[in-house]
Amino acid sequence: PGESSVYLSARRDLRSHIILMCFRATIMRSRHLLREKEQKIGKGSLSCLRQEANCCCIRGVFLFHICKPSDPHFRSLSLPIPLVGPMRVEFSEPVNLDMVRKGNPQLGMGGRYKPNDCVALQKVAIIIPFRNRGEHLKYWLHYLHPILQRQQLDYGIYVIQQDGEGTFNRAKLLNVGYVEALKEYDYDCFVFSDVDIIPMDDRNTYKCSSQPRHLSVSMDKFGFRLPYKQYFGGVSAMSKEQFQKINGFPNNYWGWGGEDDDIFNRLVFQGMKISRPSGDMGKCRMIRHSRDKKNEPNPQRFRRISHTRQTMKTDGIKSLSYKVVDIEKDLLYTQITVDIGKP
């Protein structure tokens, strides 16, 4: 038989061993079997399948459909990921960004990463609205880069910094991040994350679903509970199509509050539903801080929320205006400083 028959036979044998391993939860046994297979058909072709055997059963959970092998012989397979599950997240020790850079040698400039031995199923831009939160950003980069790499995402990190000291506008910065990220790469998924929220379980995958995805469902700030059913704040994910369908985020929410509920209304009015991970898997920690200056509660937020249906077609990505002040590429992230005007 030709080489393709050998590959197909090896794949069938290996998948049988994987299924047996998952039911018995005996990872060491499968590793031994994989070593035997390597001796017969070579190491290189089994690199992604070795990962599948090592990681298909973690804490009793099957983890599939994250990436596909780069080897064309195995393109029909979807691979699981080497996750660790619940993690301890602490903010007591300072973070040294030089150490974070050394700990992530596979990163490209601008915080870009692609898996080496498989093709990610989604291209994800992670967008962070930002101003005067340097220490928070250090913690975010320290924790998130290893998580995102274990999740085998093709991703980039975009920190969108509001220029000046005027009233903060989170939603408009997120719109800017969407537009600027697409200038660099053909992203098809967008994760919008506050800089002070860190996931406590890496099975909470930062990727998009068939419905808009709310990822920060159980924050310690709220006693690890969803504060209310319509809550869509903190960390969320939308595909390019979903984002365009709602005309992006509103640009007219200056100051704290309201934009998340406006976004929820937009999704509902366009016939979409919110998907969420389980409460345990969606646990997050928030870095405690006092409210920023020039980010006081928006007194007009409730009135604006009540008019979402009337304003969503004109207020959003189609009406976005801003000026790029500076673009800085670090190994860990791309920082784009923008002038977004005033209320």
Claim to verify: residue 46 and residue 154 sit in the same structural domain: no
pLDDT of res. 12:
55
Single out the residue in 59, 74, 89 at which a domain terminates. 74
Claim to verify: residue 235 and residue 272 sit in the same structural domain: yes
Q: What count of residues does the chain have?
A: 343
Examine residue 274 and state whether it is found in any structural domain, yes or no.
yes
pLDDT digits (tens, 9 = 90+) for 104-144: 999 999 999 999 888 899 999 999 999 999 999 999 999 99
Q: Which of 68-77, 118-127, 151-160 has the lowest mean pLDDT?
A: 68-77
CATH number where 311 lies: 3.90.550.10
Claim to verify: residue 200 and residue 329 sit in the same structural domain: yes
pLDDT of res. 288:
85
pTM: 0.78
Claim to verify: residue 178 and residue 296 sit in the same structural domain: yes
Examine residue 81 and state whether it is found in any structural domain, yes or no.
no
Claim to verify: residue 56 and residue 134 sit in the same structural domain: no
Question: Given a cut of 90, is residue 49 above it in pLDDT?
Answer: no
Residue 68 binned pLDDT confidence (cut-offs 50, 70, 90) = low
Write out the two tokens for 8.
């197909």
pLDDT digits (tens, 9 = 90+) for 238-279: 999 999 999 999 999 998 777 989 999 999 999 999 999 999
Claim to verify: residue 245 and residue 116 sit in the same structural domain: yes
Claim to verify: residue 56 and residue 107 sit in the same structural domain: no
Helices and strands (H and E) in the chain: how many: 10, 14
Average model confidence (pLDDT) across the chain: 83
Claim to verify: residue 161 and residue 281 sit in the same structural domain: yes
Q: DSSP labels for 41-66?
A: H-SGGGHHHHHHHHHSEETTEE---S
- Closest by CA to 262, choosing from 322, 311, 213, 212, is 311
Single out the residue in 17, 42, 74 at which a domain terminates. 74
pLDDT of res. 47:
38
Examine residue 305 and state whether it is found in any structural domain, yes or no.
yes
pLDDT of res. 115:
93
Total domains present in the chain? 2
Residue 25 binned pLDDT confidence (cut-offs 50, 70, 90) = very low
Write out the two tokens for 260.
């998340």
Beta carbons within 10 angstroms of residue 320's beta carbon:
17
Pairing mode, if any, of strands 213-214 and 235-239?
antiparallel
Phi, psi of 240 (to 5 degrees): -60, -40
Beta carbons within 10 angstroms of residue 34's beta carbon:
21
**Which residues are within 8 A (CB) of 268 and not within 5 positions of it... i.e. 6 or more apart?**
none
Beta carbons within 10 angstroms of residue 189's beta carbon:
25
DSSP three-state, residue 217: coil
Q: At what angle do helices 27-41 and 3-24 cross, to 10 degrees?
A: 170
DSSP three-state, residue 210: coil
Examine residue 120 and state whether it is found in any structural domain, yes or no.
yes
pLDDT of res. 258:
77
* Residue for token pair 């939860």: 25
Mark out the alpha helices in 25-133 (DSSP H runs): 27-41, 47-55, 97-102
pLDDT of res. 82:
79
Residue 300 binned pLDDT confidence (cut-offs 50, 70, 90) = confident
- Over residues 81-96, the mean pLDDT reads 91
pLDDT of res. 64:
42
- Over residues 315-323, the mean pLDDT reads 97
Claim to verify: residue 126 and residue 55 sit in the same structural domain: no
Q: In what side-by-side order are the strands of the sheet with 189-193?
A: 213-214, 235-239, 189-193, 123-130, 154-162, 334-339, 323-329
pLDDT of res. 69:
59
pLDDT of res. 5:
55
Domain that holds residue 54: 3-74
Single out the residue in 74, 108, 132 at which a domain terminates. 74
Percent of the chain clearing pLDDT 70 (strictly above): 73
Claim to verify: residue 155 and residue 287 sit in the same structural domain: yes
pLDDT of res. 81:
58
Examine residue 301 and state whether it is found in any structural domain, yes or no.
yes
Examine residue 30 and state whether it is found in any structural domain, yes or no.
yes
pLDDT of res. 8:
54
Residue 302 binned pLDDT confidence (cut-offs 50, 70, 90) = confident
Phi, psi of 69 (to 5 degrees): -60, 145
Claim to verify: residue 61 and residue 209 sit in the same structural domain: no
Write out the two tokens for 111.
């915080």
- Over residues 182-207, the mean pLDDT reads 98
**Catalytic machinery residues:** 194, 196, 256, 259-260, 286, 289, 291
Claim to verify: residue 39 and residue 147 sit in the same structural domain: no
**Separation CA 321–CA 309 (nearest Å):** 21
